[in-house]
Structure 1
């Protein structure tokens, strides 16, 4: 059924035409990411998952320096909470210093009630 016929039927039955919802857009401003020109300027966090032979799943959080491509930390666990992620990032900051920027895809551990206040407290952009 094409759109004209659908609208005609709605008009004959005196029904409201359903409006489509708009596209959801990301919050904030979009700007191109600058390439890091020194170590510890930008770090990437990304969760990687796999399964053990017995079927249990585990996740690994590698933290990579984008300038030197060095893996700064790598933690693996079967169940990872936001508090444990924050604890690991605090340990890394004590050892390597605070990065100017931390980049990640939005994982549930990084949007938790423990991780978001940590980002503001640590002043990581």
Structure 2
């Protein structure tokens, strides 16, 4: 089970990430591009941006106990993640993928180079 503290720790560890309210809830941005936010109106749920609709549909089909959507998010490349149903390793992967989907190319390339030890 992952927590809001895990979300904050993992998100803020990524380059150029800041926390800034979004729709009245904690949001996380890479160079002011929102890539995830906590939902206080649905406690324990995290809105996570994904690369595209195909990835959204794949996540929803793969684990309906962990991933969900609502009509509000129809046509939007994001899913709702039940923090009670994911572990920290899966959460880390989801957050990093969301960050990659929204990060500017130069920031993402620098991150990948540092991660691969090319810097």
Q: Same fold (TM over 0.5)?
A: no
Give me the TM-score of the superposition, normalised by structure 1. Answer: 0.25
Structure with max Cα Rg? 1
Q: Which has the higher contact order (CA 8 A, sep 6+)?
A: 2
